[in-house]
Each structure stands twice: as structure tokens, then as C-alpha cells.
Amino acid sequence: MFTIAQIKEAHNKVKSGADFPKYIQDLINLGVIGYDTFVTDGHVEYFGSNNYRTTAKETYDTLAVATSANKERFIELLVMHQEGQTDYLTFCQQAAQCGIAQWTVNIIDKTCTYYDCNQNSILIEKIPL
């Protein structure tokens, strides 16, 4: 099974959203099948086969998530992040300002779904691998 140390090693290679597809490939190689990222404090719950789970503790100070989602602005900021214009922490701060509370990566389906505070799906995108 994979460890948080292995995942952190893969994540340390990520400088911007442009590196995301390679990061996902590294996670696949480790045996990760999905994960949930919680924007409020950055903690991430990783999932593997046979109900294996492990959690990376919070990675930054608590962020306040807006109570209503601004999908259009979030998409603009997401594209900027994917183009390498922002780092991870900046993207998380911007996501919180746009009302994004969590995202779920399903490696098997190759999707990333962004949710608001009420667990409403705001955006589903395909992961390019």
C-alpha cells in the first residue's frame, strides 16, 4: 500500500496545475484510486484498493469558504492554474473565495469534481492523462 510520504514525494514535483496529469500518473503508479481534498485546511483523504485509506493532515492555515459558489469565476481561475500561472496554495485560496469547499479525484473515471459547502457538484472535469 502507498504511504503519505510517497504521495508527498510525488506532490513535491507539482509546481502548478500544468503538472497535474503527471502527478495523477504518479498516484496511479502508487496504487491510489481516488482522493478528496478539503479546501478549508488542505487535508486530503486518499483511497486505494481493498478499502485502504490514509489521510494527509492539513497543510495550511484555515481558509474561509464562501457560502455561495461562483462557477464562472472559478473556471477562469482554474484555467489560469492549469496553465501554470498560480501555485497550489494560491489556487486553494481562490477556490475558497469562489465557494469551492472540496474536490474529489476519481482516478478510475479520470474525473475531478468540485463541490460547494452543501456538497453540490459545481464542476466535473476530465483529467487528461
* Tens of pLDDT, residues 86-129: 888 999 999 999 999 999 999 999 999 999 999 999 999 998 87
Beta strands in 44-97 (DSSP E): 44-47, 53-56
SS3 at position 61: coil
* Tens of pLDDT, residues 35-92: 999 999 999 999 999 999 999 997 799 999 999 999 999 999 999 998 889 888 999 9
Q: How many CA atoms lie within 13 A of 41 on its CB side?
A: 7
CATH number for 106? 3.30.1810.10
Enter the pTM of the model: 0.89
In this structure, what C-alpha cell is assigned to residue 70? Answer: 461562483
Q: Determine the distance from the C-alpha atom of residue 102 to the mean position of all C-alpha atoms in its chain, rounded to a whole number.
A: 8
Number of domains present in the structure of the chain: 1
Domain that holds residue 49: 4-126
- Residue 5 has what pLDDT? 95
The residues with which 113 forms a beta bridge, in sequence order, are 104, 124
Which helix (DSSP H) or strand (DSSP E) does residue 90 occupy? helix 88-97
